[in-house]
C-alpha cells in the first residue's frame, strides 16, 4: 500500500471566505452565530445577519484607512467577538490575518510581529499593547476592548470606530478573491524550536470543510462550546470553521479552558452537541461528573452527538465511558501546515490505539522509505513566510509535503509512531522511539503530568518526569487509580510509587534496549514563561532537555548541582533509589 486516500470524493469547494459569509448571512440570517458572556456572566448572542453587517462595516472602514489586498493585520488577543469579526473582515477583503497568542511575553510578541511584516495591529488591551514592544513597521493599531488607550496621532484607535456606518454603498466583501490567495498566516507552536509562519489560502481552509462535511455531519442545529485558542490551528481553523461553515452556534467558554468547573457550568448552559478538546480536559470534566447523578446527566446529555480529541489519544478508560453511553469519540491528525486535518477516525468504528483514521476526501498520504508521512492535497500550505531554508526541505521533488511525523498504514488507517526528530540512536546503534515509553508512563500514573525520555548517543535511555503538583498538594482520594495504587502526598511517596509503574511501563514496550534504567522525578512545572510549554500546552522537548540538562547529566553518573527538588529512581537492582535532593 504505497498511497492511502479517501474513497469519498471531495465535494464542491467554496472559492473564498467572502462567499462563505455572504452565503451564510442569507441562509441563516436570524440564527445565532456566536455567543459570549457579558460582565454580568450572561451569554449574549449575535445573529448571522448582524454579524455579516458588522464585518462589511469593518471592511469599508479599513478600506477608507488604506487597507488593501495583501495587507497584513496581526491580531494579538484572546478569543472574542471583535477578534472574530476583524479576522474574517481582513480575509474577506483580500488581506491576511495573523493571529498570535494573547499571553506572549514582549520578547516573543515583538519577534513575531516584526517577522510578519505587517503594518496593521489589533490588540485586546493594555497588556497586549505593552507587550507588542518595538514594532517600527506598524502604522495602525486598533484596541479591541474599551481600554482608554486611544491616541489618533500615534495611529491608535478603538475597534468600535470600525463598526461605524459609512456612506460607502459597496457590498465590501470581495467574492472575486482567487482561491489560492493567502488569507491567514499562522505561527506553529514551536515544539522543537523557533515557530515558523505558515501561509494558508482560502482554498486550504475551505477545502477542509468541504472534506469533513460528509464525515462529521455538522449542521445549523449544532451547538459548540469552545475554549480552543484561535491562534492555533486546531481551534482557529478546524473547530472554528466547522461551526462557521455549517451555520452552527458557537459559544465561547468563559474561563478559556482554564477552569474545569467553569467549563462544566458553561456546559450546563450551552448543552453542546459537539465538543472539541484534549484528553487532559476530558479527564477533568469526567472527574466532575462523579460528584452527582445530575452532573453525569448534564455532561453526557442526550444531544451530545460526538466528542473530538486531538493532541493525544483519549485514554482507554475515558473512551469506554463515552462508548457505553453511545457517544462516538472522533480522533484526527494533522498539522498547521495542512490546515490542519489530514485524517479522521470513523465514528461508527471502534477506535484502535495509535490509529488516527483514514485520509479525509481530497487528501492523499504516502510513507517515505524512512517512515516519514507525506501529504498531498488542497489543504497543504502555500509555504512558510520568509523561511527559505524550511521551504527547501518541506517538500519532496514530486510535491509531497514532509510532515516530520513517522507512521505506518494499517487496515484501520494511519498509525502514528513518533515525531521524526524525537527518534534517537543509542551508542550501540539501536533506534529508540521515546514517545512509546512516554505515553506508557503518562497513562500508567495520573500523577504524572509530563514525561520525556532521552539518551541520544548514550548506552541506555533515561527519563525526566514532571508530576502534577496540584494533585500532590491536594490528593483526590475519590479518583480510581489502578488496583494496589495509593494517592501519594509528597515527592518521596510519589517516587517510591512510580518505581513499580516505571518497571511496568518498560515491560509494556517490548524492546529491552529502549527501557529506561533511571529517572528523575522533578518537582517543577513546565510553563510558557520558560518556553518549556508551547501556547497550545504541548511540551517543547528541545527546551525541556536544555533547561533540565543538569538532571540528565546526573542520571548518567555525573554530580551536578540542581535547583529543583528531585527524586531519582534507579531501576537496576545493584543501584539504590535516591531520595529527594536539591
* Ordered alpha helix ranges (H), 255-404: 260-270, 279-289, 293-299, 316-323, 388-394
Of the pLDDT bands very low, low, confident and very high (cuts 50, 70, 90), residue 353 is: confident
Q: Are 207 and 98 in contact (CB under 8 A)?
A: no
Q: Please tell me the predicted confidence (pLDDT) of residue 447.
A: 86
Average pLDDT of the segment spanning 48-73: 96
Q: Please tell me the predicted confidence (pLDDT) of residue 192.
A: 53
pLDDT digits (tens, 9 = 90+) for 229-279: 999 999 999 999 999 999 999 999 999 999 999 999 999 999 999 999 988
- pLDDT of residue 433 exceeding 50, the answer is yes
Per-residue buried b or exposed e for 368-383, using 16+ beta carbons within 10 Å of the residue's own CB: eeeebbbbbbbbbbbb
CA distance 306 to 299: 12
Q: Please tell me the predicted confidence (pLDDT) of residue 155.
A: 86
CATH 3.40.50.12780 fits 1-14+224-420, yes or no: yes
Q: Please tell me the predicted confidence (pLDDT) of residue 1.
A: 56
Question: What is the residue-averaged pLDDT of the chain?
Answer: 91
Of 482 and 465, the one with more pLDDT: 465
Of 23 and 311, the one with more pLDDT: 23
Looking at the DSSP bridge assignments, the partners of residue 452 are 464
**SS3 for 407?**
strand
Q: Are 282 and 330 in contact (CB under 8 A)?
A: no
- pLDDT of residue 365 exceeding 90, the answer is yes
Q: Among the ranges 88-102, 187-201, 297-311, which has the highest mean pLDDT value? A: 88-102
pLDDT digits (tens, 9 = 90+) for 531-566: 898 877 788 899 999 999 999 999 999 999 999 999
CATH number of 17-177: 3.40.50.12780
Residues contacting 5, CB < 8 A, separation 6+ = 359, 363, 364, 365
Q: Please tell me the predicted confidence (pLDDT) of residue 480.
A: 46
Q: Do domains 1-14+224-420 and 423-570 have the same CATH topology?
A: no
Looking at the DSSP bridge assignments, the partners of residue 366 are 3, 374
CA distance 496 to 567: 9
Total-model pTM: 0.89
Neighbours of 149 (CB within 10 A): 17
CA distance 238 to 226: 12
The CA-atom distances, in angstroms, between 152 and each of 71, 147, 155, 210, 525 are 20, 14, 5, 43, 43
The percentage of residues in the chain with a pLDDT greater than 90, rounded to a whole number, is: 77
- pLDDT of residue 485 exceeding 80, the answer is no
Tell me the residue ranges of DSSP E strands in 28-95. Answer: 32-37, 43-47, 72-76
Q: Are 229 and 236 in contact (CB under 8 A)?
A: yes
Of the pLDDT bands very low, low, confident and very high (cuts 50, 70, 90), residue 151 is: confident
Q: Please tell me the predicted confidence (pLDDT) of residue 482.
A: 53
Q: Please tell me the predicted confidence (pLDDT) of residue 580.
A: 52
Q: Please tell me the predicted confidence (pLDDT) of residue 98.
A: 98
CA distance 542 to 111: 20
The CA-atom distances, in angstroms, between 382 and each of 79, 183, 187, 198, 354 are 26, 11, 14, 8, 29
CA distance 519 to 555: 7
Give 299-319 as a 3 state SS string. Answer: HCCCCCCEEEECCCCCCHHHH
Residue 506 burial by Cβ neighbours in a 10 Å radius (0-12, 13-18, 19+): buried
Give 447-481 as a 3 state SS string. Answer: CEEEEEEECCCCCCCEEEEEECHHHHHCCCCCCCC
β-pairing, 341-344 with 358-359?
antiparallel
pLDDT digits (tens, 9 = 90+) for 374-428: 999 999 999 999 999 999 999 999 999 999 999 999 999 999 989 999 999 999 9
Of the pLDDT bands very low, low, confident and very high (cuts 50, 70, 90), residue 190 is: low
- pLDDT of residue 461 exceeding 80, the answer is yes
Average pLDDT of the segment spanning 147-155: 74
Q: Are 514 and 435 in contact (CB under 8 A)?
A: no
Looking at the DSSP bridge assignments, the partners of residue 120 are 73, 140
- pLDDT of residue 170 exceeding 80, the answer is no
Per-residue buried b or exposed e for 131-143, using 16+ beta carbons within 10 Å of the residue's own CB: bbbebeebebbbb
CA distance 272 to 278: 16
CA 389 to chain centre: 25
**SS3 for 511?**
coil
CA distance 497 to 161: 60
Q: What are the counts of helices (DSSP H) followed by strands (DSSP E) for the chain?
A: 18, 28
Of the pLDDT bands very low, low, confident and very high (cuts 50, 70, 90), residue 169 is: low
CA distance 211 to 342: 10
pLDDT digits (tens, 9 = 90+) for 403-414: 999 999 999 999
Residues contacting 497, CB < 8 A, separation 6+ = 445, 447, 485, 486, 488
Specify the CATH architecture of the domain 423-570.
Answer: 2-Layer Sandwich (3.30)
Q: Please tell me the predicted confidence (pLDDT) of residue 64.
A: 93
* Alpha-carbon dihedral angle through residues 53, 56, 61, 63, given to the nearest 10 degrees: 180
Q: Where are the domains of the chain?
A: 1-14+224-420, 17-177, 423-570
CA distance 245 to 392: 34
Looking at the DSSP bridge assignments, the partners of residue 74 are 98, 121
Residue closest to 534 by CA, chosen among 101, 243, 55: 101
Amino acid at each position: 500500500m504505497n498511497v492511502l486516500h479517501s474513497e469519498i470524493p471531495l465535494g464542491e469547494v467554496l472559492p473564498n471566505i467572502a462567499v462563505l459569509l455572504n452565503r451564510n448571512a442569507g441562509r441563516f440570517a436570524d440564527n445565532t452565530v456566536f455567543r459570549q458572556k457579558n460582565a454580568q456572566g450572561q451569554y449574549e448572542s449575535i445573529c448571522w445577519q448582524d454579524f455579516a453587517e458588522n464585518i462589511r462595516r469593518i471592511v469599508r472602514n479599513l478600506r477608507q484607512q488604506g487597507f488593501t489586498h495583501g495587507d497584513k493585520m496581526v491580531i494579538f488577543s484572546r478569543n472574542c467577538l471583535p477578534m472574530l469579526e476583524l479576522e474574517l473582515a481582513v480575509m474577506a477583503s483580500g488581506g491576511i490575518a495573523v493571529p498570535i497568542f494573547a499571553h506572549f511575553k514582549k520578547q516573543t510578541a515583538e519577534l513575531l510581529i516584526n517577522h510578519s511584516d505587517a503594518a496593521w495591529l489589533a490588540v485586546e488591551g493594555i497588556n497586549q499593547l505593552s507587550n507588542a514592544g518595538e514594532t517600527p513597521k506598524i502604522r495602525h493599531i486598533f484596541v479591541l476592548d474599551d481600554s482608554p488607550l486611544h491616541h489618533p496621532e500615534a495611529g491608535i484607535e478603538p475597534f468600535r470606530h470600525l463598526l461605524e456606518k459609512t456612506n460607502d454603498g459597496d457590498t465590501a466583501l470581495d467574492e472575486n478573491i482567487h482561491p489560492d490567495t493567502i488569507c491567514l498566516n499562522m505561527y506553529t507552536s514551536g515544539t522543537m524550536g523557533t515557530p515558523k509562519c505558515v501561509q494558508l489560502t482560502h482554498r486550504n481552509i475551505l477545502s477542509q470543510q468541504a472534506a469533513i462535511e460528509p464525515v462529521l455531519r455538522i449542521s445549523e442545529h449544532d451547538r459548540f462550546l469552545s475554549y480552543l485558542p484561535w491562534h492555533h490551528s486546531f481551534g482557529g481553523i478546524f473547530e472554528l470553521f466547522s461551526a462557521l461553515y455549517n451555520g452552527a452556534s458557537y459559544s465561547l467558554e468563559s474561563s478559556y479552558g482554564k477552569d474545569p468547573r467553569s467549563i462544566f457550568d458553561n456546559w450546563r448552559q450551552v448543552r453542546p452537541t459537539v465538543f472539541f478538546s484534549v484528553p487532559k480536559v476530558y479527564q477533568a470534566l469526567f472527574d466532575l461528573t462523579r460528584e452527582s447523578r445530575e452532573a453525569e446527566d448534564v455532561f453526557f446529555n442526550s444531544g451530545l452527538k460526538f466528542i473530538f480529541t486531538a493532541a493525544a489519544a483519549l485514554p482507554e478508560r475515558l473512551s469506554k465511558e463515552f462508548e457505553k453511553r453511545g457517544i462516538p469519540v472522533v480522533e484526527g491528525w494533522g498539522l498547521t501546515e495542512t490546515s490542519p486535518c489530514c485524517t479522521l477516525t470513523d465514528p461508527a468504528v471502534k477506535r484502535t490505539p495509535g490509529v488516527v483514521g483514514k485520509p479525509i476526501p481530497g487528501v492523499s498520504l504516502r510513507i517515505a522509505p524512512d517512515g516519514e508521512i507525506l501529504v498531498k492535497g488542497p489543504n497543504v500550505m502555500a509555504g512558510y513566510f520568509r523561511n527559505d531554508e524550511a521551504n527547501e526541505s518541506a517538500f519532496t521533488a514530486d510535491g509531497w509535503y514532509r510532515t516530520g511525523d513517522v507512521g505506518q498504514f494499517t487496515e484501520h488507517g494511519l498509525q502514528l509512531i513518533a515525531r521524526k526528530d524525537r527518534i534517537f540512536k543509542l551508542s550501540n546503534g539501536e533506534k529508540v522511539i521515546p514517545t512509546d515509553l512516554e505515553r506508557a508512563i503518562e497513562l500508567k500514573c495520573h500523577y504524572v503530568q509530563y514525561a520525556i525520555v532521552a539518551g541520544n548517543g548514550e548506552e541506555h535511555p533515561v527519563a525526566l518526569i514532571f508530576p502534577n503538583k496540584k494533585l500532590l498538594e491536594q490528593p483526590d482520594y475519590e479518583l480510581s487509580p489502578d488496583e494496589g495504587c495509593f494517592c501519594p502526598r509528597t515527592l518521596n511517596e510519589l517516587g517510591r510509587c512510580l518505581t513499580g509503574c516505571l518497571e511496568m511501563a518498560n515491560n509494556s514496550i517490548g524492546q529491552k534496549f529502549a527501557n529506561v534504567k533511571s529517572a528523575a522525578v522533578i518537582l517543577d512545572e513546565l510553563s510558557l514563561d520558560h518556553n518549556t510549554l508551547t501556547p497550545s500546552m504541548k511540551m517543547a522537548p528541545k527546551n525541556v532537555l536544555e533547561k533540565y540538562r543538569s538532571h540528565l547529566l546526573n542520571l548518567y553518573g555525573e554530580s551536578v548541582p540542581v535547583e529543583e527538588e528531585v527524586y531519582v529512581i534507579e531501576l537496576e537492582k545493584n543501584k539504590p533509589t535516591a531520595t529527594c535532593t536539591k
